[in-house]
Structures are given as C-alpha cells and as structure tokens.
C-alpha cells in the first residue's frame, strides 16, 4: 500500500514538475530526437539505408575529424533578395553530431536583410547574436506575437514548431547562431510553402484565405518565378 502511494506521489510530482517546466520555459519535458543508444553514432551519409534517419559508420572508420567542424567560421553569401545567408551544422553536413539531439546554424543578414518567416517542425531554437542588431519574433498558436531587438551576446528562444522570423535592424551586417534540439530540425519556409509549392496551391483557395482578389495571388506567385498562366489550369481537373 505504502509503496503504491509513494509511486503515485512521485509520478504526480514529476507531472507537476514537467508542467512547470513547460509553462516557464515553453520547452517540452521530452527531447525532440530519440535518446542515443550508443556513445557515438557518426551518420553514414553514403549508406542507401534510411530507418528514421541514417545508420552509424562502423566505429573502426570513425576519426577525430568526425567530431569537429569548421564550416561555420565564415557566413554564407547574403547576395540574394532576402539579404540572407545560412550555414548548417546538422546531421547531413556534420555527421558526428548524429543521435546527440543538437545542431547549429550560422545565419548572416546583410543590412536590411531578413530571415524569411518559417517553422522548424522538429525543434526548439535558441539564438545567440554574434554581431549586429537583430529583431527576433515568433507567433504562438493563439496568434500572439512576441518580439524583441537583441544585440551581440544576447539570446532568444523560439518554441518548437512556431512561426518565426528575424531581421537585421542595425546599420551593420548581422551574424547569429541558432542552436536546435534536433540533429535535423527541418525548415518550412512559409512564403514558399504557400505560393511556390509543386504543384502550386490553387489561386482561389489562397484568395479566400488572404481575403484578396485572385489577381493579387497571381501577382505574388509571379514574384516566385512561377508560370502563373499554367497553375490554375493544372487544377481544373480536380
Ligand atoms: C541540413 O543542412 C543542409 C545543408 O545546409 C540542408 O540542405 C538540409 O536541408 C538540412 N537538413 C535539415 C533537415 O534541417
């Protein structure tokens, strides 16, 4: 009897603890990726086998270099319409972090540059500003926007799966690091998902959603380089 009672008390204590952690840190009690079952698992990217991820390289073939990565020393080019560059240290580029449940991106933003509105379906994100002034914002499922401008050395958290963005609001270039609690956080760029999918979402559906005329949707799609004359016809047969 006493043993049963104490088990119950312990589990409800744990539940309360979990809920408290969720409330105060907006992070789940459970990590985003499965726990590792081995000390190391350097992803074998060359293997054709995929079982919810990559197989591990045989330990006899693992080297020191598998665990060190200098790919974030320099930023990616920001010479594009968004003024945005990203380099990723994830399971695909840095196989040594595989199964450890973490990965890191380096984001560079030119003056006036923006990290497009997007979602990471599999990870929470923590940002550390290295240089410049960055506006970070995310929107909750209840449609509340939280945003703030951060300077070098300051940090933000983006709760898992929420719509978010970043913008360079200073007069210099920006660099920041984004750490994720997943080796493959994934990214869904909202503008591309909505206006440049393959095949494209029918204009009348987007027009209803955005409460505008279909011509406005066609104009937006044309900005993504889509052949707008083809897209409605593609859907006529449905
Ligand atoms: C991992 O990084 C590569 C290189 O930047 C990128 O192409 C890929 O989409 C990333 N994978 C995930 C799941 O985040």
pLDDT digits (tens, 9 = 90+) for 37-72: 999 999 999 999 988 889 999 999 999 999 999 999
Report pTM: 0.80
105 is in an annotated binding site: yes
Structural domains of the chain sorted by starting position, each given as residue range(s) with its CATH number in brackets: 7-191 (2.60.120.10), 196-236 (no CATH)
- Determine the Cα–Cα distance for residues 185 and 192; give it in Å rounded to an integer: 18
Q: Which residues, in sequence order, are CB contacts of 95 under 8 Å at separation 6+?
A: 42, 43, 44, 45, 54, 57, 66
Distance from C-alpha of 154 to C-alpha of 134, rounded to nearest angstrom: 10
Determine the average pLDDT of the residues in 96-125: 96
> What percent of the chain clears pLDDT 70, i.e. is strictly above it?
81
How many Å is the Cα radius of gyration of the chain?
A: 22
pLDDT tens digits along 78-97 = 999 899 999 999 999 999 99
Cα of 23 from ligand 1 centre, angstroms = 30
164 annotated to a ligand binding site: yes
Which pLDDT score is estimated for 8?
57
Higher pLDDT, 11 or 144: 144
> What lines the ligand 1 site, CB under 6 Å?
88, 90, 92-93, 184-187
Q: What is the pLDDT of residue 24?
A: 43
Residues in Cβ contact with 127 at an 8 Å cutoff, skipping those fewer than 6 apart: 134, 136, 150, 155, 156, 157, 158, 166, 176, 177, 178, 179
Q: How far is the CA of 186 from the centre of ligand 1 (A)?
A: 7
The answer on pLDDT for 215 being more than 60 is yes
């Amino acid at each position: 009897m006493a043993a049963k009672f104490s088990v119950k008390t312990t589990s409800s204590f744990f539940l309360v603890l979990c809920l408290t952690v969720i409330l105060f840190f907006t992070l789940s009690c459970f990590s985003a990726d499965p726990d590792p079952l081995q000390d190391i698992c350097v992803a074998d990217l060359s293997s054709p086998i995929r079982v919810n991820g990559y197989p591990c390289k045989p330990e006899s073939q693992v080297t020191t270099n598998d665990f060190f990565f200098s790919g974030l020393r320099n930023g990616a080019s920001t010479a594009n319409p968004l003024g945005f560059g990203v380099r990723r240290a994830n399971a695909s580029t840095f196989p040594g972090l595989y199964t450890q449940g973490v990965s890191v991106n380096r984001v560079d933003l030119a003056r006036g540059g923006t990290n497009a509105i997007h979602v990471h379906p599999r990870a929470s994100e923590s940002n550390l500003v290295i240089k410049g002034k960055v506006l970070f914002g995310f929107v909750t499922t209840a449609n509340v926007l939280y945003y703030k401008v951060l300077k070098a050395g300051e940090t933000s958290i983006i709760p898992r799966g929420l719509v978010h963005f970043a913008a360079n609001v200073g007069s210099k270039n920006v660099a920041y690091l984004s750490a994720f609690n997943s080796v493959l956080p994934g990214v869904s760029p909202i503008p591309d998902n909505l206006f440049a999918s393959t095949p494209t979402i029918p204009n009348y559906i987007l027009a209803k959603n955005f409460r505008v005329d279909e011509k406005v949707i066609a104009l937006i799609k044309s900005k993504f380089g889509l052949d707008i004359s083809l897209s409605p016809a593609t859907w006529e047969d449905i």
